[in-house]
């Protein structure tokens, strides 16, 4: 009977050893979580070559880089994400380990005869407590694996937000640089014309100095704008994880127009509390520690329980076989320190969960307010400030041509126009960045909230779009018009 028990335990150990340590299933589950919120899949290479992914990245970079492809490339090529996915392999290995028994221990002794006869003894011993607690340990490891899935999904969604933010920053920097180039070219042409007019003694020394100062100022601003493009481009390159020839990519230059409809933010707090993956991971952490505390309390009085089979021969030649058991006596250590430590960990995990819940609610409210404010700013610039600055420059040009205003007044009007246009680009960039951040913080894409126009009110006229507003500097050649 004892031999049968030993064979049964050995068979159980063989079955548990067959559990797969591959994290492919966990990666697929995590990819499904990410796709449900972002529409993008993730790829885990493991020990396989990433040559196919590199070819796909190179293919995507042959054409102008749009936002969707920037995200796809980052999910394929960013090695920081690949290292993050390995946490799933660690959690999967822990789950498999929780379903394994400790290897049995083989003990053997041989006694040489001094007076008469010889004796020997051998036996197999294994920890019975490991078998009893296997279900609980697997439950803990399974909850930890689920928490790892949520945590990694949340990290990937944060990475996607970072890519979006970097892409919008690059678009704004390129658009500002292009505007600065136009302004600088116009100022250079005006300065050259002013030199010829000064040589012909048709303008004063002060007018020439003002023109040359304007050109030097616009050239300085152009160089700063070009430097901003380099910084924004390299940030996006790092996030995508590309290098070498793949780093010579080209992105579309202009920011998209903000949508005419407002995003629906009703019940967005409750949506974020239910959908945020980092909060779901925090709840799993509480569950893991709770399971661990329950297991520690159940086993505090048992300690180590070794059972096995023992075979020995007495000096008289009598051979004996039978079961053996060794029990750790909880005399000095009843697990009180271990339980106290886990209880502190549980309180910490619960506090972190509650703190994160509070933070999420506040972050979402803040971002909703900021998005609304930035949207209002975009409309103010597009409908009022930029057109007014353009009008001021046109009127100042007329006054200057009629010799009713000096060159300095016209230069100030043009500089104000340029600064307003740059600020307009910045607020459009801020709108898309805040919207992407709100989607990340809310745990999913925002849906449009289209409000129909009341029948008793005329529809609002379409405000001018970004492309309809001429970049400042295109009329600078009129400075010295006769």
| CA distances, 214 to each of 222, 227, 413, 424 (Å) | 12, 20, 12, 22
Supply the pLDDT for residue 7.
Answer: 55
The full set of domains in the chain, from first to last, is 2-480 (1.20.1600.10)
pLDDT > 80? residue 16: no
Supply the pLDDT for residue 410.
Answer: 78
Segment 112-153, tens digit of pLDDT: 777 777 777 777 777 777 788 888 989 999 999 999 999 999
Segment 338-368, tens digit of pLDDT: 999 999 999 999 999 999 999 999 999 999 9
Q: What is the DSSP letter of 385?
A: I
Contacts of 287 by beta carbon, 8 Å cutoff, 6+ apart: 143, 147
Segment 359-393, tens digit of pLDDT: 999 999 999 999 999 999 999 999 999 999 999 98
In this prediction the pTM is: 0.83
pLDDT > 50? residue 458: no
Segment 272-315, tens digit of pLDDT: 999 899 999 999 999 999 999 999 888 888 777 888 888 877 77
* Residue 454: band (very low, low, confident or very high) from pLDDT cuts 50, 70, 90: very low
Q: Compute φ and ψ for 455, nearest 5 degrees.
A: -65, -30
**Average pLDDT of the residues of the chain:** 84
Segment 23-79, tens digit of pLDDT: 899 999 999 999 999 999 999 988 777 788 888 999 999 889 999 999 999 999 999
| CA distances, 151 to each of 30, 85, 121, 146 (Å) | 9, 10, 52, 9
Q: What is the DSSP letter of 323?
A: E
């Amino acid at each position: 009977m004892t031999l049968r028990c030993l064979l049964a335990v050995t068979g159980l150990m063989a079955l548990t050893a067959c559990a797969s340590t591959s994290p492919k299933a966990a990666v697929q589950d995590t990819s499904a979580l990410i796709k449900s919120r972002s529409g993008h899949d993730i790829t885990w290479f493991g020990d396989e070559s990433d040559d196919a992914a590199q070819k796909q990245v190179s293919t995507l970079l042959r054409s102008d880089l749009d936002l969707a492809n920037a995200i796809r490339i980052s999910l394929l090529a960013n090695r920081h994400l690949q290292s993050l996915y390995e946490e799933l392999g660690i959690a999967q290995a822990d789950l498999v380990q929780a379903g394994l028994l400790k290897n049995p221990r083989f003990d053997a002794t041989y006694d040489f005869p001094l007076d008469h006869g010889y004796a020997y003894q051998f036996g197999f011993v294994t920890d019975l407590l490991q078998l009893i607690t296997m279900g609980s340990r697997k439950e803990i490891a399974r909850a930890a694996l689920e928490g790892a899935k949520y945590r990694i999904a949340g990290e990937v969604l944060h990475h996607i937000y970072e890519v979006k933010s970097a892409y919008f920053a690059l678009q704004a920097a390129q658009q500002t640089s292009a505007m600065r180039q136009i302004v600088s070219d116009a100022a250079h042409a005006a300065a050259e014309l002013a030199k010829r007019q000064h040589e012909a003694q048709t303008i004063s020394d002060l007018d020439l100095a003002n023109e040359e100062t304007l050109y030097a100022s616009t050239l300085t601003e152009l160089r700063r704008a070009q430097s901003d493009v380099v910084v924004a481009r390299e940030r996006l390159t790092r996030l995508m994880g590309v290098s070498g020839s793949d780093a010579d990519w080209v992105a579309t230059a202009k920011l998209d127009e903000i949508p005419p409809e407002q995003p629906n933010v009703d019940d967005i707090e409750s949506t974020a509390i239910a959908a945020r993956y980092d909060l779901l991971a925090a709840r799993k952490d509480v569950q893991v520690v709770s399971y661990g505390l329950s297991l520690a309390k159940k086993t505090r009085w048992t300690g180590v329980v070794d059972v096995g089979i023992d075979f020995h021969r007495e000096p008289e030649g009598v051979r004996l076989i039978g079961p053996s058991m060794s029990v750790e006596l909880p005399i000095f250590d009843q697990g009180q320190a271990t339980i106290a430590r886990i209880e502190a960990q549980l309180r910490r995990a619960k506090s972190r969960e509650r703190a994160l819940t509070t933070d999420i609610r506040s972050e979402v409210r803040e971002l909703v307010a900021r998005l609304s404010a930035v949207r209002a700013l975009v409309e103010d610039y597009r409908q009022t400030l930029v057109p007014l600055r353009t009008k001021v420059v046109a009127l100042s040009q007329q006054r200057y041509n009629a010799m009713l205003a000096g060159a300095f007044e016209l230069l100030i009007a043009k500089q104000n126009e340029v600064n307003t246009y740059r600020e307009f680009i910045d607020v459009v960039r801020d709108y898309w960045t805040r919207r992407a951040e709100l989607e990340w913080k809310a745990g999913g894409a925002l849906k449009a909230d289209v409000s129909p126009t009341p029948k008793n009110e005329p529809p609002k006229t379409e405000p001018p779009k970004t492309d309809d507003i001429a970049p400042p500097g295109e009329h600078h050649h009129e400075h010295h018009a006769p």
